[in-house]
Structure 1
Amino acid sequence: MSTVAVPDRGRPRTRIRRGAGLGLVAWLAGIVFFLPIAWMALTSFHSEEDAATNPPSFTAALTLDGYREFFGAGGGASPWPSLINSTVASVASVILVLLLALPAAYALSIRPVKRWTDVLFFFLSTKMLPVVAGLLPIYLFARNAGLLDNIWLLVLLYTSMNLPIAVWMMHSFLSEIPVAVIEAARVDGARLPTVLARVIAPMAMPGIAATALICFIFSWNELLFARVLTGVVAETAPVFLTGFITSQGLFLAKVCAASLVVSLPVLAAGFAAQDKLVQGLSLGAVK
């Protein structure tokens, strides 16, 4: 007697439940990560007395005093020079990183050199050195060269710090470009600069954008070198932010307001290109 196979109707329901469970976990994780930002934003609109209460008051009156003090309404220093310095250091270093990382990634992916995997590991190994280990020699060099409190020193430092991760990320994107397209351009007489600018760059633009955003975020958030190597002229936004923390008095609302303003460029850039950031950090593993 032949038997008829009965389809298992429980599997679709199991998959739906599993997908719903994973979705719920993802939403809970997102809420957990978002809560500190929401808490900081809410505290920034409270007075110092209400922000310092324990437990905190959710129904306290809202005010813009923290933002007024941050922008110098109370007679304090203006944040605009520091914000401009951070913008100059971050944008200039990102441009230099892209100009150096694109040909390097081309040499390691499309025209691979001998033992290119060792080269990539060497780039990655430079990120394993603790930043504080190189702080003293860099400080001595900057002092002897007369580069202390100079914004262009930060540009060079941020470029050297972000170049390894930029080469790694762009290598993963350039590896996905068909070699036949590049060979066709070379047959038509295009030289290497033309190939990089007119063929590779347009095709790898999502990867270049993700690399630029990552380098911008790292440069904007850097504090240690900026704190030690700058004073007044080249002070960046994170260094300016630390000046609101004092040993006396209340400062929580003002610090939250300053932190939110300083974090807005990074938050906006990360939210606008979150899919490209994930793809770039996964080195091409996510398709």
Structure 2
Amino acid sequence: MNPVLSGLLPFLKSKGLGLLAWLAGILFFLPVAWMALTSFHSEADAATNPPSFGAALTLDGYRDFFGVGGGQSPWPSLVNSTVASVASTVCVLLLALPAAYALSIRPVKKWTDVLFFFLSTKMLPVVAGLLPIYLFAKNTHFLDNIWLLVILYTSMNLPIAVWMMQSFLAEVPVAVIEAAQIDGARLPTVLGRVVAPIALPGIAATALICFIFSWNELLFARVLTGVVAETAPVFLTGFITSQGLFLAKVCAASLVISLPVLAAGFAAQDKLVQGLSLGAVK
């Protein structure tokens, strides 16, 4: 092979992979950019086919979303989503950390079977458990209660959190834990002051994923809540009415509701990358 060509192939290969990554990123970003642009159009311009990219920009969609013209305010729904997502994520971390510790650093017998059992709970279709949970909530007077969603989201995200954190905590040096125990540290101290700081990237990645799953959940929130505990995704479905789909309002609402997840992901992106890469290289 020509020496010039053999030296050029690795360069072309690396540039080709980089170009492919950029194209994939642009393809994923295009729907978000389209949604953002549509949210600044009037309903008449947003409904045109093909879309009118050069149409006049307006903030009417955002005014309607925030109830400036006398519509329903989104703030109670946003607060409910924040409470349900943050509270359930905190509960998941408090329960998943000692469980993952028992399955990785101090493994119990047949720990792989335990992990499979945790993951098998996610194999049941969500809609299959909807009716029993609805009847339970109705008989216990828990319908339209935000704390019911906190309990549900905690139980739904706990198996994934235990599975993820088990692999993260397996990277914690056992010698560090044994040194802390020799110094008299008990299990809560070991978990809080030794294990948690070392596995912080993995914990942050797990927390972010659990927060996203809870924030975006719609089915249980749609069925089990009404007015008091209505979440942001349920509020978003209110823009789809019998009169039609108000596309500009839906895009504006979707963009605003997506901002907390985007902000959390941007703020924790370094921890997310470190956490998801833990255990990848031995």
Verify same fold: TM over 0.5.
yes
Please give the alpha-carbon distance, in whole angstroms, between the structure 1 residues aligned to 2:55 and 2:70. Answer: 26
After TM superposition, list the pairs within 5 Å mapping 1:140-219 onto structure 2. 140-219=135-214
Q: Structure 1 residues 161 and 279 mapped into 2: Cα distance closer, same or farther (>3 Å)?
A: farther
Q: Structure 1 residues 217 and 286 mapped into 2: Cα distance closer, same or farther (>3 Å)?
A: farther
How many Å apart are 1:273 and its aligned residue? 3.1
Match of 1:60 in 2: 55
The structure that has the greater radius of gyration is 1
Please give the alpha-carbon distance, in whole angstroms, between the structure 2 residues aligned to 1:130 and 1:276. Answer: 31
Match of 1:258 in 2: 253
Q: Which among 72, 93, 97 is matched to residue 77 of structure 1?
A: 72
Please give the alpha-carbon distance, in whole angstroms, between the structure 1 residues aligned to 2:216 and 2:164. Answer: 20
Please give the alpha-carbon distance, in whole angstroms, between the structure 1 residues aligned to 2:276 and 2:126. Answer: 21
Residue deviations 1:168-190 (CA, integer Å, cap 9, x gap): 11111110010000000001111
- 1:14 and 2:5 equivalent? no
Please give the alpha-carbon distance, in whole angstroms, between the structure 1 residues aligned to 2:278 and 2:144. Answer: 36
Match of 1:3 in 2: none
Please give the alpha-carbon distance, in whole angstroms, between the structure 1 residues aligned to 2:147 and 2:16. Answer: 50
Match of 1:28 in 2: 23
Q: Structure 1 residues 250 and 101 mapped into 2: Cα distance closer, same or farther (>3 Å)?
A: closer
- Aligned-pair RMSD on alpha carbons? 1.7
Tell me the TM-score normalised to structure 1 length.
Answer: 0.94
Tell me the TM-score normalised to structure 2 length.
Answer: 0.96
Q: Which moved more, 1:273-282 or 1:25-34?
A: 273-282
Please give the alpha-carbon distance, in whole angstroms, between the structure 1 residues aligned to 2:72 and 2:239. Answer: 11
In percent, how many aligned pairs have the same letter? 85
How many Å apart are 1:246 and its aligned residue? 1.4
Please give the alpha-carbon distance, in whole angstroms, between the structure 2 residues aligned to 1:220 and 1:171. Answer: 24
Name structure 2 gaps, 5 residues minimum: none
Match of 1:230 in 2: 225
After TM superposition, list the pairs within 5 Å mapping 1:84-163 onto structure 2. 84-163=79-158
How many Å apart are 1:143 and its aligned residue? 0.3
Please give the alpha-carbon distance, in whole angstroms, between the structure 2 residues aligned to 1:283 and 1:115. Answer: 23
Please give the alpha-carbon distance, in whole angstroms, between the structure 2 residues aligned to 1:55 and 1:279. Answer: 42
Contact 1:49 1:250 in 2 (8 A): no
Contact 1:244 1:251 in 2 (8 A): yes
AA at the equivalent of 2:203: I
Q: Structure 1 residues 122 and 182 mapped into 2: Cα distance closer, same or farther (>3 Å)?
A: same
Contact 1:47 1:63 in 2 (8 A): yes
How many Å apart are 1:267 and its aligned residue? 1.6
> Which secondary structure state, in structure 1, belongs to the residue aligned with residue 72 of structure 2?
coil
Q: Which among 45, 48, 57 is matched to residue 50 of structure 1?
A: 45
Q: Structure 1 residues 281 and 227 mapped into 2: Cα distance closer, same or farther (>3 Å)?
A: farther
